Amino acid sequence: MPLRPLFDLHTHTVASGHAYGTLQENLRAAREQGLLALGTSDHSPGMPGGTDRTFFENYRILPREVFGVRLLRGMEANITDYDGSIDGGTVTEEMDYVIASLHSHCIRPGSEEENTRAVIGAMKHPCVKIIGHPDDGRYPLDLDLVAEAARDFGVALEINNSSLRPSCRRLNGASLVRRLARTLAEKGALAVMGSDAHIWCDVGRFAEAEAVLEETGFPEAQLLNLRMEGLDFLLRKRDK
Ligand SMILES: [Zn+2]
Ligand SMILES: [Zn+2]
């Protein structure tokens, strides 16, 4: 049976500097895709060409619902060192959720031990709810350790649809997303699909991710997008 994802929390607008859609276009696309909620998650200020702190501070003017779609206030923060520091600053506390990711503009690939320590360290920030695209062969990870830590911290690991597309610059996405799905299933950790849309027509697009989840027999109970309770879980306040 085809999956029916209810929300997409990983989307970018022109404010990211290397994306091509407006928030209005993304919201319209979300409604057309049948999503009930859209999270807008532009890159934190450390990403070259992106926005600055005031952009996120002014999220307070965003309506909570547009075109019948719930609108959530997010940020994709950069992991900046192997201890797992992130660069969002104190404004991260005002976000509904933060995605923490390794990006080549902001941290050099380390050893498997260093990259793993960076990702697990980022999970310790209470605002971080999702680790973005932990499937990039340029940043080898010990997926067993990452999945165990995610399960213990209550952080979701992303099944990133863009990593599975030929246009993606991450390395070995196709095989690594499959490995990630199998490891999450085995460890009882939570997954969330994200489109990582950098243009409106990719918002809510999960076809490639869904195919991998089906192929690997991923347990639906561990996939947060399928129930609004999954969204509530991601939006909860984590203890410091
Ligand atoms: Zn990213
Ligand atoms: Zn992204």
What confidence tens digit (pLDDT) does each residue in 172-185 have? 888 999 999 999 99
Q: How far is the CA of 12 from the centre of ligand 2 (A)?
A: 7
Q: How many CA atoms lie within 13 A of 110 on its CB side?
A: 19
193 Cα–ligand 2 center, Å = 12
Q: Is a pLDDT exceeding 80 seen at residue 23?
A: yes
109: nearest Cα among 88, 144, 79, 148: 79
Averaged confidence pLDDT in the chain: 96
The CA distance from 39 to 9, in Å, is 4
Q: What pLDDT score does 138 carry?
A: 96
Rounded distance from Cα 235 to ligand 2 centre (Å): 18
Report d(CA 4, CA 8) in Å as an integer: 12
Looking at residue 171, its pLDDT comes to 83
Nearest ligand, CA 18: 2
Two tokens, residue 182: 């199998």
pLDDT of residue 170: 83
Domains and CATH numbers, the chain: 7-235 (3.20.20.140)
Cα of 162 from ligand 1 centre, angstroms? 10
What is the rounded CA–CA span in Å between residue 234 and residue 100? 13
The neighbouring-strand residues paired with 74 are: 41, 97
Q: How many Cβ atoms from other residues are within 10 Å of residue 19's Cβ?
A: 21
Supply the pLDDT for residue 1: 64
Task: Give the distance (Å) from ligand 1 centre to CA of residue 76.
Answer: 7
How does pLDDT run across 145-201, given as a tens digit for each residue? Answer: 999 999 999 999 999 999 999 888 888 888 999 999 999 999 999 999 999 999 999
